[in-house]
């Protein structure tokens, strides 16, 4: 990983992993934050209740999941929670803006 990649990862909180095209996008911000702008196709599962809601939204624990938030901190916590629950392919996508750019997906407003 070059210096620029490390710098971007530090700013966005994003993982340097390749992002699977078929991954399920989960926004772990509050409902108000989600409504203000979310990545097209994302599911809103706020961090505070993700442990209770994830199995209904993503029953397959082998599915590729990308979690994101405003800066990457909450999505880092979400990744830890989900891996603790047995989800095998969870990636911290970092910030909503950085991840949208990386995925080349639009940010929608509710």
Instruction: Quote the pLDDT of residue 3.
Output: 47
Active-site residue among 69, 78, 90, 103?
69
How far, in Å, CA of 66 to CA of 7, rounded?
A: 20
Q: Where are the domains of the chain?
A: 3-108
Q: Which DSSP helix (H) or strand (E) runs through 64?
A: strand 64-69
Give the per-residue pLDDT at 4: 44
**Which stretches of the chain score pLDDT less than 50?**
1, 3-13
pTM for the model stands at 0.85
CA gap 105, 101 in Å, rounded: 7
CATH architecture of 3-108: 3-Layer(aba) Sandwich (3.40)
Check residue 18 and give its pLDDT: 85
Told to judge if 52 belongs to the known catalytic residues of this protein, a careful annotator would answer no
């Amino acid at each position: 990983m070059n210096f620029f990649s490390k710098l971007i990862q530090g700013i966005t909180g994003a993982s340097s992993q390749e992002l699977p095209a078929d991954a399920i996008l989960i926004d772990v911000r509050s409902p108000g934050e989600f409504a203000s702008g979310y990545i097209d196709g994302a599911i809103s599962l706020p961090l505070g209740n993700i442990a209770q809601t994830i199995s209904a939204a993503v029953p397959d624990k082998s599915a590729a999941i990308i979690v994101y938030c405003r800066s990457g901190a909450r999505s880092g916590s979400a990744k830890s929670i989900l891996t603790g629950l047995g989800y095998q392919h969870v990636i911290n996508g970092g910030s909503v803006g950085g991840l949208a750019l990386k995925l080349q997906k639009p940010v929608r407003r509710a």
